[in-house]
Chain A
Amino acid sequence: MPIKKRGTGLTAVADAWQLADIDVTASYPIRPYTAVMAEVAKRIANGLMKCEMVHGEGEHAQFSIAHGASMAGARATTGSSGVGVAYAFETYSPIAGGRCPIQALIADRTLDPPGDFGSEHTECLNLRDNGWIYGWAENAQESLDNSLMFFRIGEDPDIMLPQIVAMDGYFVSHIAQDYEMPDQEQVDKFLPPFKPQFRLDVNNPVIMGPQIEPEMGPPLEWDRNVVMDRVKEKIVAVTEEFGKIFGRKYAPFVEEYMTDDADMVFLLQGAHAVTCRSAIRYLRQAGYKVGMCRLRWFRPFPDTALKAILPKFKVVGVVDTNTSYGAAGGSGVLLVETRASVSEVPGKPLIQGFTSGLGGETITHEEFFKMAEMMKMTLEAGRIIQDAVWVNFNDYLPAVSEVQAAEQQVAQTKE
Chain B
Amino acid sequence: MTLAVAIDPNMLEVTVWTRGVTLAKEARDTATLLAKAGKAEGKHVQSFDNYVDLPDRIGVPCKSYARISPDPIETFYEYENYRPDIVVLAEETLVKGHNILGGAKPGCVVVINTARDPEKLLKWISPKENMKHLKAVACIDANALGAGVMLTFDGTEGSGDDTKIGAGVGAAIAGAVAKATGCVKLESLVSVAENKAAVKQGYEKVTVLPVCKGEAFACGLPEDPQEIKWK
Contacts and interface: CB of A to CB of B under 8 A. Distances in A.
A7 B7 CA distance: 25
Interface in A158-208: 170-171, 173-177
Contact of A175 (B5, B77, B155, B159): B77
A11 B77 contact: no
Interface in B126-183: 155-160, 162
Contact of A11 (B3, B48, B52, B159): B159
B75 interface: yes
A39 B2 contact: no
B157 A364 contact: no
Interface stretch (A219-227, A238-246, A254-262, A367-375): A367-375
A278 B3 contact: no
Interface stretch (A29-37, A48-56, A316-324): A29-37
Contacts of B158: 8-11, 32, 34-36, 173-174
Given A117-B51, A373-B2, A175 B160 contact: no
A275 B77 contact: yes
Given A175-B48, A373-B2, A11 B160 contact: yes
A372 B2 CA distance: 9
A249 interface: no
Contacts of B79: 170, 360-362
A274 B7 contact: no
A278 B6 CA distance: 12
Interface in A89-113: none
Nearest to B162: A42
Interface string A1-41: 00000011111001000000000000000011011101100
Interface in B63-103: 74-79
B1 A362 contact: no
A275 B159 contact: no
A339 interface: no
Contacts of B1: 366, 369-370
A364 B78 contact: yes
Interface string B99-128: 000000000000000000000000000000
A332 B158 CA distance: 28
Given A35-B157, A283-B3, A365-B7, A118 B52 contact: yes
Contacts of A271: 77
A42 B157 CA distance: 14
Contact of B2 (A34, A38, A272, A370): A370
Nearest to A175: B48
Which size class do A's interface residues fall under?
35 or more
A87 interface: no
Contact of B77 (A35, A38, A274): A274
B201 interface: no
A308 interface: no
Interface residues of B, number: 24
B47 interface: yes
Contacts of A373: 2-3
Nearest to A173: B158
A39 B161 CA distance: 10
A95 B205 CA distance: 62
B5 A282 contact: yes
Nearest to A40: B159
B46 interface: yes
A212 interface: no
Nearest to A370: B2
A278 B48 contact: no
Given A117-B51, A369-B2, A8 B77 contact: no
B160 A39 contact: yes
A204 B46 CA distance: 55
Contact of B51 (A170, A272, A282): A170
A360 B47 CA distance: 19
B52 to A, nearest CB: 6
Nearest to B78: A362
B182 to A, nearest CB: 25
A42 B77 contact: no
Nearest to A38: B159
A39 B78 contact: no
Contacts of B76: 175, 177, 274-275
B153 to A, nearest CB: 12
A410 interface: no
A14 B159 CA distance: 9
A286 interface: yes
B21 to A, nearest CB: 16
Contacts of A361: 79
Interface in A107-136: 117-118
Nearest to B36: A6
A31 B77 contact: no
Given A271-B77, A362-B79, A176 B2 contact: no
Given A174-B51, A362-B79, A31 B157 contact: yes
Nearest to A5: B160
Nearest to A177: B76
Contacts of A286: 3, 5
B159 A36 contact: yes
Contacts of B48: 174-176
Contact of B159 (A8, A118, A272, A365): A8
16 contacts: A31-B157, A32-B51, A32-B157, A38-B157, A118-B51, A118-B52, A170-B51, A170-B79, A175-B46, A176-B47, A275-B74, A275-B77, A282-B3, A282-B5, A369-B1, A373-B2
Interface of B: 1-3, 5, 7, 46-49, 51-52, 74-79, 155-160, 162
Interface of A: 7-11, 14, 31-32, 34-36, 38-39, 42, 117-118, 170-171, 173-177, 271-272, 274-275, 278, 282-283, 286, 360-362, 364-366, 369-370, 372-373, 397
